[in-house]
Every structure is written in structure tokens, then in C-alpha cells.
């Protein structure tokens, strides 16, 4: 096994654990958690939304830390944070302790999910990190496939508190050693001190790029999170039975993995902007097919949505690298993706209201949002070599 494959397997496995025990945890445990802790279900979802908002707030600072120290010490710390937050949840007896547990998990999410992993890879591999970024998203895409059944099994065997403690133990016994095994990197001064004057800033013609990318990621993650929460309800509003809706919804996960394999196998020969444009066209195309043909086209919609969503996850890591280069990547990416965390926090509530009001017609809103992101990506131009420091990060 070569060093790059080993790195991808270690970091990707740690990412699968991190996503499964945080982002995908409430779907299985929210109801027993609320009933036993004596709080409404809506309050647990509110605590989860606040955790997402907190993760957005800490992202830029975490990115700056990875730029300077490398990802190993930061990700090792997040293993402890995830474990601590899950233990707090396991001990929760009321609203204050429920919020405390989720807020600690929120800090861990802001410093230990994909954005931190991408920054870690860029710190290690510089401009050559695109393939490794794709690799860890392939493994991370299994988080719900692994996490939901494992959470459900632990909840049945040990109760929801035992499930939280089980995930905490996995962070300490598996996640922490995996993150500790990442290559060490030399501590550096702040990126501003590393780079020649002005090299961290984009040229005048590209200063709008960060704002455009922030909107693209916010719009697409709003839709991704909304459909993760409401796709079965949308499918049933279109006339499908519950069993049919669940069967079609199950197509999204494999389609996401297929999209990432497509990016890894074929589209990586092209600039990441072309891959992102292709990915962003999938959801609006799926909406048009569904609206034109009705519920019979729901499987096509699910596959197209999954393909695009899987590839757009990679674009969050590769587009900032392609436009700006590796110097200051973590800090810059932290700012670019912060709005998407805010959008995630509110999307289930907002889109749920749209589904209640318009049923399947809510897809026109999601299609328009992702369509506007696609238009923004076509407005951007494929850049020349990214602006970066004159020497490599580790020299």
C-alpha cells in the first residue's frame, strides 16, 4: 500500500466516524433522547441547529490553525472533543445538559469534519491534494450507511445513552489513533508571513470568487440538507407509498458514491470548475424530469440528485485550492464554507414549511436555488495557475 492510499484510508475512516457520530446521529436518537431527557423533540433539533451554527463560527480559526500547525494536532484534539460532547449527551438530564453536549459537538464538527480534513491534505500535499480529497469523500460517503444501522443497533442493545457512550469510545479507541498516525508537519508562521506581499489575495479580476463560491456552497448545501431530511415526505407527496419512498430514497447514497467515483476516474482530468458545473446541473435536471414525467421519474431524480451532491462535496475542497492555491487555504476555506453551515442549520425547518405548503412543488424552489448556483459557476472563468507563495509550505 503506497503512502497516499494509506493516508486516504486513515483520514477517510476517521471522517466516516466523525460524520456518523455527529451529523447523522439525531436521525436515529433524537426521539429516545428527547423522551428520556425530558425535553421536546423540537428542542433537541434546535440544539443540533445551534451546533451547526457554532461549527460555522469556529471554522476560520480552525483553518488558520491547520495552516500553521498542520492537521494532525487539530484533528487529534477533535477526537477528544467529539468524545466529550457525546459523553455529555449520555449524561443529559434536561435542556441545559442537552444543549451543552450539542454545543461541544458543534465545536468538534467545526474543527473535525471535511473542511478540516481538506485543509490537512492541502497542508501535506499542496496543489496535488485533489485526488486525496476525492478519496476521503468516497469513504466519508459511507457515514450514513454505517452510522444509522450502528446507532440503531446500539440504541436497541444499550439505550440511546449507551449509543452515545459507544460512539465516544470509538472516537478514543479508533478515531484518535487514526488521527495521531497522520504525518507530522513543520509548524509555520502565519500565512501572511510566509507569502510575498499581496500573494494571499486574489488578483483584482478574481476578488469576487470567494463570494461566489460561498453562495454556491450555501445554496447547494441548503438543498442537500433539506432533502436529506424531507425526501421521503416529498416522494409521498408525489403519490408514492412509504415503502416506495424509502426504496427510492435509498438510491441517493449509492449515487453519491458513484458521482465521486466519476470525479475520481474521469472528471479529474478537467479543471475542478468544469466538474462543479456538471455536478450543479444534476439536481435542476432531476427536478425538470420529475415535474415533466411525474412520480414515475422519481428514481431518476434521486439518482441525479445523488450524483450531483456527491461531486459537489469534492468541489468544496478542490475549487478554493484551484483558484487560490495552498497558501492560507485552511483560513480562506473556513470563511468560504461558513455560510453553508448556517444554511444547513435552517434548511430542514424552512424546507419543511415549503413541503407542508406546496408538497412536491417545493422542488421548484430547490431546483431554482441549485440552478442559481450553476449560473454563478458559469459566470466564473477557469483561472490560470493559482496565486501562491514562491516556496512550498514545508520548505
* DSSP-assigned states of every residue in 245-260: HHHHHTTHHHHHHHHH
Cα–Cα nearest to 310, from 133, 120, 105? 133
Looking at residue 189, its pLDDT comes to 56
Best CA proximity match to 182, nearest among 29, 54, 323, 79: 79
Count H helices, E strands: the chain? 17, 0
Average pLDDT over residues 101-127: 90
* Cα 113 from Cα 45, distance rounded (Å): 20
Give the model's pLDDT for residue 190: 53
> When comparing pLDDT for 131 and 205, which is higher?
131
Q: Pick from 170-179, 202-211, 359-368 the range whose average pLDDT is largest.
A: 170-179
Computed over every residue of the chain, the mean pLDDT equals 85
What pLDDT shows up at residue 387? 46
What are the pLDDT digits (tens) for 185-221? 766 655 544 443 333 444 444 568 888 999 999 999 9
Rg for the chain (alpha carbons), in Å? 20
User: What pLDDT was estimated at residue 393?
Assistant: 34
> Does residue 97 surpass a pLDDT of 70?
yes
Residue 51 reports pLDDT greater than 80:
yes
pLDDT at residue 355 tops 90? no
**Counting Cβ atoms within 10 Å, is residue 299 exposed (0-12), middle (13-18) or buried (19+)?**
middle
Best CA proximity match to 22, nearest among 91, 156, 112, 128: 112
Q: What is the mean pLDDT of residues 255-262?
A: 85
DSSP 24: T
pLDDT of residue 384: 61
Domains of the chain: 3-187 (1.20.1250.20), 204-379 (1.20.1250.20)
SS3 (DSSP) at 241: coil
pTM metric for this prediction: 0.80
Can you tell me the distance from the alpha carbon of 264 to that of 129, in angstroms, rounded to the nearest whole number?
Answer: 12
What is the model's pLDDT at position 206?
58
* Residue labelled with grid coordinates 465516544: 168
The pLDDT of 345-368, averaged and rounded, is 86
Reported as a pLDDT band with limits 50, 70 and 90, residue 341 is confident
**What is the separation, in whole angstroms, between the first and last Cα of the chain?**
27
Lowest mean pLDDT among 35-39, 78-82, 184-188: 184-188
Query: CA nearest 338: which of 200, 168, 211?
Result: 211
Which pLDDT belongs to residue 353?
Answer: 85
- Highest mean predicted confidence (pLDDT) among 41-45, 130-134, 153-157, 166-170: 166-170
- In whole angstroms, give the CA distance from residue 263 to residue 186: 31
Backbone angles phi, psi at 40, to 5 degrees: -65, 155
Pick the range with the lowest mean pLDDT from 41-55, 240-254, 266-280: 240-254
Residue 382 has pLDDT above 80, yes or no: no
Best mean pLDDT range from 160-169, 201-210, 306-315: 160-169
**pLDDT at residue 24 greater than cutoff 90:** no
When pLDDT is averaged across residues 112-133 and rounded to a whole number, the result is 87
The average pLDDT across 370-391 equals: 74
244-260 burial: b if 16+ Cβ within 10 Å, else e: bbeebbebbbbbbbbbb
Pull the grid cell for residue 239: 403519490
pLDDT for position 131: 82
Phi, psi angle pair for 352, to nearest 5°: -60, -40
pLDDT score recorded for residue 278: 93
Contact present, 151 and 168 (Cβ < 8 Å)? no
**Is the pLDDT score of 167 beyond 90?**
yes
Question: Is residue 33 scored above 50 in pLDDT?
Answer: yes
> Does the pLDDT value for residue 336 go beyond 70?
yes
Q: Are 286 and 271 in contact (CB under 8 A)?
A: no
Which is more confidently placed, 16 or 203?
Answer: 16
Q: What is the pLDDT of residue 207?
A: 63
Work out the angle at residue 179's Cα, subtended by the Cα atoms of residues 175 and 183, and round it to the nearest 5 degrees. Answer: 160
Query: Residue 159: which pLDDT band, with cuts at 50, 70 and 90?
Result: very high
DSSP annotation of 174 reads I
Other Cβ atoms less than 10 A from the Cβ of 291: the count is 16
Give the span between the Cα atoms of 358 and 237, in whole angstroms: 9
Question: Is the confidence at residue 288, as pLDDT, over 90?
Answer: yes
Residues 6+ apart with CB under 8 A from 24: 143, 144, 147, 148, 151
Please state, in angstroms and rounded to a whole number, the distance separating the CA atoms of residues 297 and 307: 16
Amino acid at each position: 500500500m503506497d503512502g497516499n492510499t494509506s493516508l486516504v484510508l486513515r483520514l477517510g475512516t476517521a471522517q466516516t466516524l466523525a460524520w456518523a457520530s455527529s451529523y447523522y446521529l439525531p436521525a436515529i436518537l433524537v426521539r429516545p433522547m428527547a423522551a428520556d431527557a425530558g425535553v421536546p423533540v423540537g428542542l433537541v433539533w434546535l440544539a443540533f441547529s445551534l451546533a451547526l451554527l457554532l461549527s460555522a463560527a469556529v471554522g476560520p480559526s480552525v483553518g488558520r490553525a491547520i495552516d500553521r500547525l498542520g492537521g494532525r494536532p487539530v484533528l487529534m484534539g477533535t477526537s477528544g472533543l467529539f468524545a466529550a460532547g457525546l459523553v455529555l449527551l449520555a449524561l443529559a438530564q434536561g435542556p441545559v445538559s442537552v444543549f451543552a453536549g450539542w454545543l461541544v459537538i458543534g465545536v468538534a464538527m467545526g474543527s473535525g469534519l471535511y473542511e478540516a480534513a481538506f485543509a490537512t491534505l492541502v497542508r501535506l500535499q499542496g496543489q496535488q491534494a485533489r485526488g486525496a480529497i476525492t478519496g476521503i469523500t468516497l469513504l466519508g460517503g459511507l457515514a450514513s450507511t454505517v452510522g444509522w444501522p450502528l446507532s440503531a443497533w446500539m440504541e436497541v442493545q444499550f439505550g440511546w445513552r449507551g449509543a452515545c457512550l459507544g460512539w465516544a469510545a470509538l472516537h478514543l479507541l479508533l478515531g484518535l489513533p487514526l488521527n495521531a498516525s497522520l504525518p507530522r508537519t513543520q509548524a509555520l508562521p502565519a500565512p501572511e508571513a510566509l507569502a510575498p506581499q499581496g500573494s494571499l489575495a486574489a488578483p483584482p479580476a478574481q476578488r469576487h470568487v470567494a463570494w461566489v463560491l460561498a453562495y454556491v456552497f450555501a445554496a447547494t448545501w441548503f438543498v442537500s440538507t433539506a432533502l436529506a431530511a424531507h425526501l421521503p415526505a416529498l416522494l409521498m407527496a408525489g403519490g408514492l407509498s412509504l415503502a416506495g419512498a424509502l426504496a427510492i430514497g435509498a438510491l441517493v447514497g449509492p449515487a453519491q458514491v458513484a458521482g465521486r467515483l466519476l470525479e475520481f476516474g474521469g472528471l479529474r482530468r478537467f479543471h475542478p470548475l468544469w466538474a462543479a458545473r456538471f455536478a450543479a446541473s444534476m439536481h435542476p435536471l432531476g427536478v425538470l424530469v420529475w415535474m415533466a414525467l411525474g412520480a414515475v421519474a422519481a428514481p431518476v431524480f434521486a439518482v441525479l440528485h445523488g450524483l450531483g451532491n456527491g461531486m459537489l462535496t469534492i468541489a468544496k475542497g478542490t475549487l478554493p485550492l484551484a483558484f487560490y492555491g495552498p497558501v492560507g487555504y485552511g483560513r480562506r476555506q473556513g470563511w468560504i464554507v461558513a455560510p453553508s453551515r448556517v444554511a444547513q442549520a435552517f434548511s430542514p425547518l424552512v424546507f419543511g414549511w415549503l413541503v407542508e405548503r406546496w408538497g412536491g412543488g417545493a422542488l421548484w424552489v430547490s431546483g431554482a436555488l441549485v440552478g442559481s448556483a450553476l449560473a454563478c459557476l458559469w459566470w466564473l472563468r477557469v483561472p490560470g495557475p493559482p496565486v501562491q507563495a514562491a516556496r512550498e509550505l514545508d520548505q
